[in-house]
Structure 1
């Protein structure tokens, strides 16, 4: 291979030569008839799922199976089984360990990361996974002149904005040079945005790659039937040996009651995000196992700080005082979450500001603030979703929040949308559309959520997720300083300062930190939830 050094923004690299997909394994043929009969959404739920096949009830249809193009944990749960990255989170932690890279070195100044790739790894389509393939992945996201940059968008390419260049030093060595020290770099490489896709498959399918994925993970893609199922099968050539499962089927079942009914009837083997009021029923039934795992989750309301009543900080604070968050957690969520105090989840213990107390439930204080701001009786539009990644019974939560806001004199109209439609309205920004909107994030580092959703330069117009247009120069400075510091104690101090300012400014209504859950059939073994909120299914078995 010819070694090269590529500075991002340089001339386009040559297009990859498509590599034909390998012939389908016997599993594909075995699955066909069983899936058609057992998994059709129009057919009654079967008494038993196909042998050797794990059927997972998801909360929504995926947006894409291109890891560089999506942001939702709902999609990540599939992607983490098709692809691998240079590094990954060690099981049960958010600590980084080797994956496609067997080792790495970091320069003393924190600017150069050099990764040694494993030998003999291939993508599912047969193409070699080498240093040039890794370079392709990051240039595709970061270089606007790359021939496959337009197969995006790449909304979380923010994660690698510090990368100045990426170089194939030799066939099995990749070097990243950063513009400045960037503490979250390794953690971001372990996130789904850092998963490595096959350049040949991107070249073959271009903008349709998200429907025709090829990675190097323990499972390989079989089919995606819209609004019905995504099927992946065991990769017999996986570097750590093939999974015991023959295949996994992800079924999008948006209605929570329908997911519960399918679980009870045997139509699915795994259900994620169990409605809180159903947990006790599953815990008491020997046919099922209930799994719980704390993680870095925040459920909040985005408030439109650019226009309307929410442009006044006093109104935003009033909303925080008006919502009875303890009642939401105890009644709607049946105790499966804790009241949130600010923008950083307590799961990031080293960076969490324990001195912050949640906004207390104080309707009188809320009314006084509204009167002071001159916004008593203000008319508000509130976006609610039917369900989505980590959204915590959103319809019931939305109705309860609406009732609390009405009690302090606000006139709140709810508009409810299916998850992907909801994202299509919220992510481009609330201006001209809504005053507040539900949102949930599960993150990998205390940098991620505030950097992508609270910086003044992270508005939707600038490619970020600051859909409420919050801006505070001091918050911007603290976030920039924190991500450039390689001293964890210093980073922690900066993040704690940021949290205190953001809580006072109240660009969001801080509602709850959730403990994720899932239910599995007693036939399923080896299943564990991860703090990352991903589903890792290689070691799962099914009797």
Structure 2
């Protein structure tokens, strides 16, 4: 299935180069190029193969889904579908599509294109069925036409029918709390049918936990969406992805012609680049820098809280973690309040469960695990695990909205655990793909990860991790799985919220990992920039950006 053909040609044009900016004498980029400092590299130019925010930040400018979120908010609105509806059971979804939409390769968007995409994902085989590769498809739609692994979830996707040129009907086997929100995901954004034909000639491969992604997803030239920008170049050596305005875009045209995402993996490096005028904006501003930048004339909006940071524990990686006393000892050993006070921006909060309090389903009655080193030691002794040794993976070359300084946070937790008598072996890994693949595979005894909600439903948080067996955690507890599942199939919103509360209580009683915090991430823009509306979902639309 892979080997790029010349079926689709999306021009390989380099944009926003240094010589153009220097010519204008404007360090922030000329008026046709907006340069954004990203915290990490993308993993793929095909969002269907991704599960990380840095990939989606870029692909969101080029690909659109059936539904989107309102600019700067979390309310679902029409995307490539102007209107949508479902039957009372929530198993048949009808989309009335926008007309006059074109893909970047000139192909017309229609219902047949929608169905070609959904059927393409449903028919994935081999490495594409690996959880780390098809994470979002499996999360939203379950498994595939022919599952190749008994641990792959049962398929919930049933069919897609082009009722007419502008009406697509998607059927699922059972109602799900993931719908309609899942129809807004970048991983389910719509690609040109010609692109899909090229994709089918290439394969992803895997060797152990290491995954090699298909060639088309690692360089520009094949992927084609309908968004306001088209991807023109991925210069991995310079850690830059370039995009160019798509002049045939159906909606409001992008205000800036060229868009460049440049990876600068330290917060200090991004701040200095903005202050020097080398970039026009960057994400995940360090809490201590917000007032400094604002006083110097930079715009530094703070997003609303919609994320969760946690300490993951993999029972597959270390059998000692199967003991509830060990997991509880780890929970009591970590000083979460100190992490919030020293590492997060103003407004950060200690998490008591695996969703922020801004999401319906948050429970006030979950079991608590206050910081208590002595109790941690006592629990370890009771479990006969004194002198326990655990490897602890943490990511490098990245910062995340929920995790602004990974190494600093790791060092704090490492010190806390060692005070409780747990020996920690550090395992730093490059964020993409090494760290993401390793954590998804359950290869790390302890690891740090988090989640920014994709859409506003509690299941998008707890269902992401605890709807069933997941190698990241490596546990099987029918009580937890049943509690989470109960909310996922309840159609009544009020009843669903109550189910989520009970699920949060069951999760925190079992304690598969430790929720650490929720935080409001800040994003900065240059003095000459009119910024986009900032999104609590970190789904900024850079077509809204302009220069003053």
* Whole-angstrom distance in 2 between the partners of 1:419 and 1:254: 10
User: Conserved in 2, the CA contact under 8 Å of 1:105 and 1:114?
Assistant: yes
User: Conserved in 1, the CA contact under 8 Å of 2:177 and 2:459?
Assistant: no
User: Conserved in 2, the CA contact under 8 Å of 1:220 and 1:232?
Assistant: yes
Equivalent in the alignment of 2:211:
none
User: Conserved in 1, the CA contact under 8 Å of 2:81 and 2:95?
Assistant: yes
Structure 2 residue 270 is matched with structure 1 residue 266:
no
Please, which of 402, 412, 417 is the counterpart of residue 400 of structure 1? 412
Please, which of 497, 503, 519 is the counterpart of residue 498 of structure 1? 503
Please, which of 173, 187, 190 is the counterpart of residue 193 of structure 1? 187
Please, which of 469, 473, 498 is the counterpart of residue 468 of structure 1? 473
* Whole-angstrom distance in 2 between the partners of 1:450 and 1:143: 27
Deviation larger for 513-522 or 440-449? 440-449
1:355 positional shift: 3.3
Equivalent in the alignment of 1:208:
215
Please, which of 118, 127, 136 is the counterpart of residue 107 of structure 2? 127
Equivalent in the alignment of 1:446:
458
Which ranges of structure 2 fall in alignment gaps of 5 or more residues?
A: 143-155, 203-213
Which ranges of structure 1 fall in alignment gaps of 5 or more residues?
A: 1-11, 460-466
* Whole-angstrom distance in 1 between the partners of 2:102 and 2:125: 27
Equivalent in the alignment of 2:518:
513
CA deviation string 1:315-335 (max 9, x = no partner): 111111111111111112253
Equivalent in the alignment of 2:98:
118
Structure 2 residue 71 is matched with structure 1 residue 88:
no
Deviation larger for 169-178 or 385-394? 385-394
Question: What pairs up with 1:273-312 in 2 under 5 angstroms?
Answer: 273-286=284-297, 288-306=298-316, 307-312=318-323
Structure 2 residue 272 is matched with structure 1 residue 255:
no
* Whole-angstrom distance in 1 between the partners of 2:196 and 2:347: 41
SS at structure 1 position matched to 2:44: coil
CA deviation string 1:211-230 (max 9, x = no partner): 33210011111111014210
1:18 positional shift: 7.6
Count of aligned pairs between the two proteins: 505
- Structure 1 pair 507–149 and aligned structure 2 pair: CA distance change class (3 A): closer
Equivalent in the alignment of 1:8:
none
Please, which of 414, 438, 447 is the counterpart of residue 426 of structure 2? 414
SS at structure 2 position matched to 1:57: strand
SS at structure 1 position matched to 2:180: helix
Please, which of 141, 149, 152 is the counterpart of residue 160 of structure 1? 141
Equivalent in the alignment of 2:150:
none
- Structure 1 pair 86–413 and aligned structure 2 pair: CA distance change class (3 A): same
- Structure 1 pair 233–247 and aligned structure 2 pair: CA distance change class (3 A): same
Equivalent in the alignment of 2:177:
183
Please, which of 152, 165, 171 is the counterpart of residue 165 of structure 2? 171
* Whole-angstrom distance in 1 between the partners of 2:75 and 2:6: 35
User: Conserved in 1, the CA contact under 8 Å of 2:310 and 2:450?
Assistant: yes
User: Conserved in 1, the CA contact under 8 Å of 2:390 and 2:445?
Assistant: yes
User: Conserved in 2, the CA contact under 8 Å of 1:89 and 1:190?
Assistant: yes
Deviation larger for 325-334 or 384-393? 384-393
Equivalent in the alignment of 2:146:
none
* Whole-angstrom distance in 2 between the partners of 1:374 and 1:145: 45
1:470 positional shift: 2.5
- Structure 1 pair 429–164 and aligned structure 2 pair: CA distance change class (3 A): same
1:358 positional shift: 5.0
- Structure 1 pair 229–362 and aligned structure 2 pair: CA distance change class (3 A): same
1:468 positional shift: 1.9
Please, which of 378, 383, 386 is the counterpart of residue 373 of structure 1? 383
CA deviation string 1:158-192 (max 9, x = no partner): 21232211111111111111101123211011121
Question: What pairs up with 1:73-84 in 2 under 5 angstroms?
Answer: 73-84=53-64
User: Conserved in 1, the CA contact under 8 Å of 2:340 and 2:348?
Assistant: yes
* Whole-angstrom distance in 2 between the partners of 1:289 and 1:448: 31
User: Conserved in 2, the CA contact under 8 Å of 1:351 and 1:496?
Assistant: yes
* Whole-angstrom distance in 2 between the partners of 1:166 and 1:145: 19
Equivalent in the alignment of 1:7:
none
SS at structure 1 position matched to 2:404: coil
CA deviation string 1:357-404 (max 9, x = no partner): 753211122122111111122111111112243332110000001111
1:145 positional shift: 6.5
- Structure 1 pair 126–22 and aligned structure 2 pair: CA distance change class (3 A): farther
Question: What pairs up with 1:347-386 in 2 under 5 angstroms?
Answer: 347-348=358-359, 350-356=360-366, 359-386=369-396
* Whole-angstrom distance in 2 between the partners of 1:357 and 1:89: 34
Equivalent in the alignment of 2:208:
none
* Whole-angstrom distance in 2 between the partners of 1:310 and 1:385: 21
1:20 positional shift: 4.6
Please, which of 489, 495, 511 is the counterpart of residue 494 of structure 2? 489
1:232 positional shift: 0.8
Equivalent in the alignment of 2:205:
none
